Structure 1
């Protein structure tokens, strides 16, 4: 059974509005997502006292290399590194915030916004492939001790899916079945190959696949007028499918998997105190749509730090 609002219901509504009315409606819908829409950092530089957390210790200051897509590059947390235009490697990206918590560590951010699994082995946004850059570090002076990666969301088309939810309805072309089929049948092999390539290039470094956080609120916490309950269930299911596939692929490739499903609990998209940027269709917030703000980045950094502290 496909969970979706009746096509005729929304079609009649949009037809009655006309073009001008549609733009007004979109403005109203977006305004119901989240009050904060600017891209200035949010509290990332504020020191946080975390009691009861075991300090992470290494025999020497570690080098941390972050690979993957916008969920590692720090999209939505400018200023961005000028030497990698298009990659949106943000000042408050969670790998950099993680490094701030580990004394003497070095963080090298190779992740690039918009990256698919192909960006690991081919040039993307005029940057060397991420695996090639990792391999160069291994044979150089900055040998990595920890390599993290988030990848797969862009392969599955998660971003355009969320945009379609705002414009009309989720999977309005019937893509839901095709997307689910892609995630369950094609993405697993892509991810397993990608993780294996990273592991092979990482030398003796520990490779940690970091999952995607659960972005979507409960039905009672939802403040977005564009997100009905059926759509919320659809999107949550797709997010869960991607994480489930990534966990299995990581296991088969012999690398770690860290679930961060709950790091945004009480602060998900479309809640009153969201740590996720609202979905935008135009303007400065377009690229940041659906990405963690600096507080969300901090929450992910804390989750990875805690994982390292456990020493699993």
Structure 2
């Protein structure tokens, strides 16, 4: 009799444990299925340079190889809105990209700030006008990053939180562009390359501080791109592409999949 009762208890406990495990699995699946993801930002989020663009996205050049789409494909969220756009500044995000955000949005990703700081113009100056002009233009960008960009970032982060109060917000930064003392034997001077890298770090560090103040998650891609910069011999970034100039200084498909996507996956 006692053994029978003990056996019954054991079976009951086993069933409860099994239900506990099964319940956790169901809860996890339900959580994944309930994810509502909105991908905002500039060309680094839209996937310029990765190819395979959605024709309906026009000049925004949203790529099927961009990290937001890679994350969507791997995680199957309940809803996915991709509004990131090539050339976007903070004001463009606020004015044109926030439509899909609601109180039901649970995940947001964004890269923004590089266009505000004028990095495209700075890189053009560096390529076409030589070292002195390059350093001067980079210093202008650094001053903007220090003095003006923080309030611009605050404005876009506040707007995101206002429209998506319950979302986890992942803010991704930009890689360093050059491997110093690398394999490049022509092109920009080493001093210009170092100045560009330093400005990229200043931009990333400024973004990180604003992200922390807003309680968002900061996705730092610099470590993932280390060893894959321009002049590394295995670059995940386009250098100057004279045949398709918009590709220049943007991640290749390998940069999206090997650099951005793993960081997004680890934080989302």
TM-score range, shorter chain: 0.7 to 0.9
Q: Is the 8 A contact 1:111 1:130 kept in 2?
A: yes
Aligned CA-pair RMSD:
1.9
If the length of structure 1 is used for normalisation, what is the TM-score?
0.71
Q: Equivalent of 2:32, from 44, 55, 60?
A: 60
Q: Equivalent of 1:234, from 195, 198, 210?
A: 195
Residue in 1 that maps onto 2:172: 210
Q: 2:144 aligns to what SS in structure 1?
A: helix
In structure 2, the CA distance between the partners of 1:191 and 1:224, relative to structure 1 (3 Å rule), is: farther
Q: Is the 8 A contact 2:212 2:218 kept in 1?
A: yes
Q: Post-superposition shift, 1:224? A: 5.0
Distance in 1, matches of 2:77 and 2:139, equals 48
Q: 1:209 aligns to what SS in structure 2?
A: strand
Structure 1 runs (4+) deviating above 4 angstroms are 103-106
Residue in 2 that maps onto 1:111: 84
Q: Post-superposition shift, 1:184? A: 0.3
* Residue pairs, 1:149-168, within 5 angstroms: 149-168=110-129
Q: Is the 8 A contact 1:165 1:231 kept in 2?
A: yes
- Structure 2, unmatched stretches of 5+, are 1-27
Aligned length: 237
What's the CA shift string for 1:244-278, capped at 9, x where partnerless?
A: 11111112223221211111121111221111112
In terms of Rg, which structure is larger? 2
Q: Post-superposition shift, 1:170? A: 4.7
In structure 2, the CA distance between the partners of 1:176 and 1:78, relative to structure 1 (3 Å rule), is: closer
In structure 2, the CA distance between the partners of 1:205 and 1:279, relative to structure 1 (3 Å rule), is: same
Residue in 2 that maps onto 1:190: 152
Q: Equivalent of 1:130, from 97, 104, 108?
A: 97
If the length of structure 2 is used for normalisation, what is the TM-score?
0.82
Question: Are 1:301 and 2:261 counterparts?
Answer: yes
Q: Counting helix residues as a fraction of each chain, which structure ranks higher?
A: 2
